[in-house]
Structure 1
Amino acid sequence: MQNRRTERNAFFPIFWKMDSHYPLVDFHKDFSLPKADTIHFQTEGICNIKIDGKAIDDLTGTFIVPAGNHRINVKIYNQATPPTVFMSGRYVKTDASWLATFEDKEWIDETGKSSDVSATNYQPAGYWNFNSTNQIPSHFVLPVIVQRPVSVVKKDNSILLDFGKETFGYVKLHGIAGRGRLQLVYGESKEEALDTEHAETFDWITISSSKKIDTTPQLSKAFRYVNIKNTDGLQLDSVSMLYEYADLKDKGSFACNDEELNKIYDVSKYTLHLSTREFFIDGIKRDRWIWSGDATQSYLMNYYLMNDNETVKRTMYALRGKDPVTSHINTIMDYTFYWFLSFYDYYMFTGDKTFLVNNYDRMKTLMDYVVARRNKDGLLEGMTGDWVFVDWAKGLSKKGALSFEQLLFARGLETMTICADLSDHKDDAVQYSKMATDLKGKLFEYYWSEKQKALVHSRIDGKQSDNITRYANMFAIFFNYFNEIQKSEVKKSVLLNDTIPSITTPYMHFYELEALCALGSQDHVLKEMKDYWGGMLKLGATSFWEEYDPSKKGAEHYEMYGRKFGKSLCHAWGASPIYLLGRYYLGVSPTSPGFETYEIKPALGGLKWMDGVVPTPNGEVRVYCNTSNIKISASEGVGKLIFKSANNPKCKEGKIIAKGGNQYELEIKKDQPYSINYKAVVSE
Structure 2
Amino acid sequence: MKQIFLLCCLCFLAGTALAQATWIWYPGDYEIWLSNRMQNRRTDRGSFFPIFWKMDSHYPLMDFHKDVVLSQAEEVHIYAEGTYNVKLDGQPFEGTPAVITVPAGRHRINVKVFSQGTVPAIYVKGATIVSDSSWLSTYEDKEWIDETGKTSDITATKWLHAGCWNFNDPAILPSAFTLPTQVMAAVKNENGLVDFGKETFGYIHLKGIKGKGKITLYYGESKEEAMSDKGAVNVDWLSFEKDVNQDSTLPASKAFRYVRMVTSPGIQVDDVSMLYEYANVNEPGSFKCSDDEINRIYEVAKYTFHLNTREFFIDGIKRDRWVWSGDAYQSYLMNYYLFFDKGTVLRTMYALRGKDPVTSHINTIMDYTFYWFLGVYDYYMYTGDRSFIKEIYSRMQPLMDYCLSRRNKDGLMEGQVGDWVFIDWADGLSKKGPLSFEQLLFCRSLETMSLCADIAGNQQDAEKYKLLAAAIKEQLFRIYWNEQKQALVHSTINDHVTRYANMFAIFFDYFNAAQKETVRHSVLLNDSIQHITTPYMRFYELEALCALHEQSYVLKEMKNYWGGMLQLGATTFWEEFDPHKSGAAHYAMYGREFGKSLCHAWGASPIYLLGKYYLGVKPTAPGYATYAVEPALGGLQWMEGTVPTPDGNISVHIGQKEMKISTAGGKGTLRFSSSIKPVCKTANIQQTKDKWYEMTMEPNTTYVINYQSVK
1:39 is paired with a residue of what secondary structure? strand
2:158 is paired with a residue of what secondary structure? coil
- 1:204 has 2:237 as partner: yes
Query: How far did residue 104 of structure 1 move?
Result: 2.1
Distance 2:438 2:683 in 1: 46
Q: Give CA-to-partner distance per residue, 1:597-633, whole Å, 9 cap, x none.
A: 1000000000010000000013111111111111111
Q: Which letter maps to 2:601?
A: A
Instruction: Give the structure 2 partner of residue 487 of structure 1.
Output: 516
Instruction: Give the structure 2 partner of residue 331 of structure 1.
Output: 364
**2:587/2:593 contact within 8 Å kept:** yes
Question: Higher relative contact order by CA 8 Å / sep ≥ 6: 1 or 2?
Answer: 2
Instruction: Give the structure 2 partner of residue 441 of structure 1.
Output: 474
Distance 1:588 1:233 in 2: 62
2:84 is paired with a residue of what secondary structure? strand
Runs of 4+ in 1 over 6 A off after TM superposition: none
- 1:63 has 2:100 as partner: yes
Q: Which letter maps to 1:16?
A: W
What are the residue-to-residue correspondences of 1:413-562 with 2, within 5 Å?
Answer: 413-460=446-493, 465-562=494-591
- Correspondent of 2:260 among 214, 227, 233: 227
In the alignment, structure 2 segments of 5+ residues that lack a partner are 1-37
2:163 is paired with a residue of what secondary structure? coil
- Correspondent of 2:338 among 291, 301, 305: 305
Distance 1:255 1:671 in 2: 22
**Under a length normalisation based on structure 1, what TM-score does the superposition of the two structures give?**
0.98
* Change in 2 beyond 3 A, CA 1:114/1:500: same
Same amino acid, percent of matched pairs: 61
Query: How far did residue 58 of structure 1 move?
Result: 4.3
Instruction: Give the structure 1 partner of residue 17 of structure 2.
Output: none
- 1:367 has 2:400 as partner: yes
**2:85/2:95 contact within 8 Å kept:** no
2:541 is paired with a residue of what secondary structure? helix
Query: How far did residue 357 of structure 1 move?
Result: 1.2
Q: Give CA-to-partner distance per residue, 1:190-210, whole Å, 9 cap, x none.
A: 000000111111111122453
Distance 2:537 2:606 in 1: 13
Query: How far did residue 41 of structure 1 move?
Result: 1.9
Distance 1:233 1:407 in 2: 64
Query: How far did residue 27 of structure 1 move?
Result: 1.1
Instruction: Give the structure 2 partner of residue 128 of structure 1.
Output: 165
Instruction: Give the structure 1 partner of residue 216 of structure 2.
Output: 183
2:279 is paired with a residue of what secondary structure? coil
Q: Give CA-to-partner distance per residue, 1:383-427, whole Å, 9 cap, x none.
A: 100000000001001111110000000000000000011111111
Instruction: Give the structure 1 partner of residue 703 of structure 2.
Output: 674
**1:177/1:207 contact within 8 Å kept:** no
Distance 1:111 1:679 in 2: 85
Distance 1:613 1:233 in 2: 57
**1:184/1:204 contact within 8 Å kept:** yes
- 1:393 has 2:426 as partner: yes
Distance 1:164 1:515 in 2: 36
Distance 2:73 2:482 in 1: 75
- Correspondent of 1:274 among 307, 315, 335: 307
Query: How far did residue 142 of structure 1 move?
Result: 0.3
1:237 is paired with a residue of what secondary structure? strand
Q: Give CA-to-partner distance per residue, 1:136-162, whole Å, 9 cap, x none.
A: 1100000000000000002xxxx1100
Q: Which letter maps to 2:671?
A: I
Once structures 1 and 2 are overlaid, which stretch shifts more, 255-264 or 120-129?
120-129
Query: How far did residue 60 of structure 1 move?
Result: 4.3
Q: Which letter maps to 1:93?
A: V
Distance 1:52 1:454 in 2: 66
Query: How far did residue 175 of structure 1 move?
Result: 1.4
What are the residue-to-residue correspondences of 1:25-36 with 2, within 5 Å?
Answer: 25-36=62-73
1:401 is paired with a residue of what secondary structure? coil
**2:87/2:93 contact within 8 Å kept:** yes
Instruction: Give the structure 2 partner of residue 579 of structure 1.
Output: 608
**1:177/1:208 contact within 8 Å kept:** no
What are the residue-to-residue correspondences of 1:534-683 with 2, within 5 Å?
Answer: 534-682=563-711
Instruction: Give the structure 2 partner of residue 322 of structure 1.
Output: 355
Distance 1:44 1:231 in 2: 45
**Under a length normalisation based on structure 2, what TM-score does the superposition of the two structures give?**
0.94
Q: Give CA-to-partner distance per residue, 1:169-217, whole Å, 9 cap, x none.
A: 0001111132221111100000000001111111111224534211122
2:396 is paired with a residue of what secondary structure? helix
Query: How far did residue 235 of structure 1 move?
Result: 2.4
**1:182/1:232 contact within 8 Å kept:** no
- Correspondent of 1:88 among 119, 122, 125: 125
Query: How far did residue 38 of structure 1 move?
Result: 1.1
Instruction: Give the structure 1 partner of residue 87 of structure 2.
Output: 50
Two-structure CA RMSD over aligned residues (Å): 0.9
Instruction: Give the structure 2 partner of residue 9 of structure 1.
Output: 46
1:430 is paired with a residue of what secondary structure? helix
- 1:193 has 2:226 as partner: yes
Q: Give CA-to-partner distance per residue, 1:645-678, whole Å, 9 cap, x none.
A: 1111000111111112211111111121100001
Distance 2:552 2:521 in 1: 16
**1:278/1:311 contact within 8 Å kept:** yes
- Correspondent of 1:408 among 441, 446, 456: 441
2:269 is paired with a residue of what secondary structure? coil
**2:202/2:274 contact within 8 Å kept:** yes
**2:218/2:226 contact within 8 Å kept:** yes
What are the residue-to-residue correspondences of 1:247-286 with 2, within 5 Å?
Answer: 247-286=280-319
Q: Which letter maps to 1:436?
A: A
* Change in 2 beyond 3 A, CA 1:211/1:376: closer
Count residues in correspondence.
674
